[in-house]
Amino acid sequence: MLSLPSSSSSISGHKYDIFLSFRGEDTRRTFTDHLYDALQRSRIVTFRDEPELEAGEEIAPELFKAIQQSWCSVIVFSKTYAFSSWCLEELAEIVKQKLEKGHKIFPIFYDVDPSDLRKQKYKVGEAFSKHDDTYKEDRHKIQIWRNAFTEVSNIKGWHLNNKHESKFIGAIVKKVSAKLCQTYPIVHDKLVGISSRLEELYSKIDVGEDDVHIIGMGGIGKTTLARVVYDQMSSHFEGKSFLADVREVSNKLGLASLQKQLLTQTLSEGGFNIFDVNEGNAIINHRLSHKKVLVVIDDVDNRKHLEHLVGRRDWFGLGSRIIVTTRDEHLLRSYRVDYVYKPTTLSPNDALRLFKLKAFDSETVLEGVFIELSKHVVRYAGGLPLALEVLGSFLCGRDATQWRSAIERLKRDSNKEIRDRLRISFDGLEEREKNIFLDISCFFNGEEKDFVTKVLDGCEFFPDIGIDVLVKKSLVAVDGDNRLWMHDLLQEMGRKIVWEKSIDEPGKRCRLWDERDIQHVLTKKTATEVIEAMIIDNQRESNKTLNLSVDAFSKLKRLRLLKVLCLSNCDGLKYLSNELLDWKGCPSQAFNRTTWLHFCYNTVTLNNYGREPDPCTS
């Protein structure tokens, strides 16, 4: 029988998952034996007493110790359970552990009525009358037994009630197994704030069910969470495999190498020679179709990964669980996975805890200048575990002066390791989706989705499907007010992609949003035909006129988006020609263009059919 993860027992102090309490002469060779066997098959560590322990009248000390070393007790109340002083002593100790240490109790009512037990009548009443005669000199003991009986019989449990025993036992094992998984301690120091996410995920994984479940995970921190589940639950399976970095490994070594790893890990044997993926499919199906396995397939980015590593549900034995992590939620849904789970960013408190663990190697109380400096970094990371871990590790062991320098540098330039990790999802996008992502990061973060869709539709980016792709890849979110939202670090990455195309001369970048850059380009006349979108913002200097000449716009041959926000006279915009602008939706012919732009926050969509590829995304 497989044991629980070693870290589980050492931290919790529990040697057993379950202490099984029952009346031997009633159910030892029947119901309880079948239940014990089912628990063993589910890799649940169960203590049941042996007949020789019951040789004497007094309960053996080993049983008290076993109860104390168990996480929970399953009590089989049968017709003569209450007649056994041995069983009642067990019951009293179980209740004592419940009240003092939170020991869990799961009662089973086997051919007895729970109400009879609560009221202590009929057979139960007869049993206690017998004990009253036997233990006349020890009324206190009898009262403890009665109280324990009342306490446990009021707990909601399972009532056989003429059900088929096999199905009845299956339901019990499923429930207990699920409860056990939710209680396994988290031993990884970087998994701050993760406990609250596990309960929902474990309920969907549902290790007690006999069918095969495929669970998908997208969003933030998915690989970390999948690793926790794998570590905590693997002891409940006959075989296990964690295939890390599938996207990268597949590109370098091919899918056949991953198929070989899957077989080697789950079967604990080597010697698999797989020459092509179709052969690998057949071997996986043949060797694993009768084996209950836990498989994590991490960082999948195309359907072929799923076809050759997950295949069909009948590739794996009953009770198997397949967990797939990916940046592309749509890939999971198109493969008809049973459930898609999306982890979220950490709360401010959990984010600070995680950062402290990485920066100071402990959760010690911060002192002095590091209190405010840590808060600066946590605000910058925005609850993103990846950023907190990278920045915490980078700052670990450095002094306050170096921290300040690093924070100031972050304001100007994001951390390269974080940026490179985040960019993987961007690099996998189609051309139009890259354009939508860059437009949102430069101009539309926080804008109403329908408005952005209408604008980008005029750019022929097909935003209805494009925005959905970005949402499914967790690059963009839509909030409750139907506004597009992008994490600060993702927005920073997008703007960095644009900026890196021409570090020294903004006139050679495809998108312009910074006020100083636009002032430079339009007044120094350094614009090039690369520019296709910009913001003109003259709000801050309302006492000044932004004087623009026709020459400033003469080179903007690819301009498709112009966002204008003017509180003063943006003189010169009137020189934009009719051939360049499509003024659909202008509210009134009574307003000239400068006056309308003066009063409205508007986006002008420019006709530019037959454009060449965007230099920022190509």
Tens of pLDDT, residue by residue over 574-607, are 445 443 343 333 333 333 333 223 223 344 444 4
What does residue 612 show for φ and ψ, rounded to 5 degrees? -80, 165
pLDDT digits (tens, 9 = 90+) for 31-75: 999 999 989 887 788 999 876 555 445 667 888 899 999 989 999
Pairing of strands 533-537, 511-512: parallel
479 CB-contact burial (10 Å; exposed 0-12 / middle 13-18 / buried 19+): exposed
In this prediction, residue 601 carries a pLDDT of 35
Please report the pLDDT score of residue 549 as a whole number. Answer: 58
423 assigned to some structural domain: no
Q: Are residues 199 and 96 in the same domain?
A: no
Helices (H), 189-235: 195-205, 222-233
* 573 domain-assigned: yes
Q: How distant, in Å, are the alpha carbons of 332, 379, 492 from that of 395?
A: 37, 15, 21
Query: Tokens 């109400």 identify what position?
Result: 115
pTM score, two decimals? 0.56
Q: Which of 369, 393, 412 is the C-terminal boundary of a domain?
A: 412
**From 90, 329, 492, 532, active-site residue:** 90
Residue with more model confidence, 389 or 16: 16
Q: Is residue 599 part of a domain?
A: yes
One domain for residues 242 and 266: yes
Q: What is the 3-state secondary structure (H, E, C) of 506-558?
A: HHHCCEECCHHHHHHHHHHCCCCCCCCEEEEECCCCCCCCCCCCHHHHCCCCC
Give dist(CA 11, CA 189) in Å, integer: 14
Please tell me whether residues 241 and 382 are part of one structural domain.
no
CB 368 within 8 Å of CB 513: no
- The answer to whether residue 90 is catalytic is yes
The reply to whether 89 and 223 lie within a common domain is no
Domain boundary among 143, 176, 209: 176
Q: Extract the tokens encoding 476.
A: 């963009």
More confident residue, 219 or 184: 219
Q: Is residue 480 part of a domain?
A: no
Backbone phi and psi for residue 261, each to the nearest 5 degrees, phi listed first: -60, -40
pLDDT at 567 over 70: no
Q: Across the chain, what does the average pLDDT equal?
A: 80
Q: Which pLDDT score, from 0 to 100, does residue 594 have?
A: 30
Question: Would you tell me how many other CB atoms lie within 10 Å of the CB of residue 295?
Answer: 26
What type of residue is 129?
Answer: S
Q: Is residue 207 part of a domain?
A: yes
Q: Look up residue 175 and give its two tokens.
A: 């429930």
Gyration radius of the chain's alpha carbons = 33
- Could you report the per-residue pLDDT of 270-319, keeping only the tens digit for each? 778 888 899 999 999 999 999 999 999 999 988 999 999 999 899 999 98
Q: Is 525 contained in some domain? A: yes
Token pair recorded at residue 12: 């919790």
Same-domain pairing of 352 and 337: no
Beta-strand runs (E) in 440-520: 477-478, 484-485, 511-512
- The CATH number linked to 225 is 3.40.50.300
- How far from each other are the two terminal CA atoms of the chain, in whole angstroms? 57
Write out the residue range of the structural domain in which residue 261 sits.
186-341
% of the chain beyond a pLDDT of 70: 81
Are 42 and 84 in the same domain?
yes
Let me know whether 141 and 265 are in one domain. no
Largest Cα span, the chain: 111
- At 324, the pLDDT band (50, 70, 90 cuts) reads very high
Kindly state whether residues 17 and 164 are assigned to the same domain.
Answer: yes
pLDDT digit string, tens, across residues 393-424: 888 888 889 899 988 888 777 778 888 878 87
Is 134 contained in some domain? yes
Residues 166, 43 share a domain? yes
Do 150 and 32 share a domain, yes or no? yes
Rounded to whole angstroms, the Cα distance separating 340 from 300 reads 14
Q: Is residue 465 part of a domain?
A: no
* Alpha helical stretches, state H, 184-314: 195-205, 222-233, 246-253, 255-267, 277-288, 303-309
State whether 141 and 207 are in the same domain.
Answer: no
Cα gap 141→147, rounded to integer Å = 10
Query: How far is 537 from 516, CA to CA, in rounded Å?
Result: 10
Q: How many domains does the chain have?
A: 4
Instruction: Say if residue 85 is in the same domain as residue 222.
Output: no
What is the rounded distance in angstroms from the CA atom of residue 551 to the CA atom of residue 508? Answer: 16
What are φ and ψ of residue 96, in 5° steps? -60, -45
The reported pLDDT for the residue numbered 195 is 64
Q: Residue 124 is part of a domain; what is its CATH number?
A: 3.40.50.10140
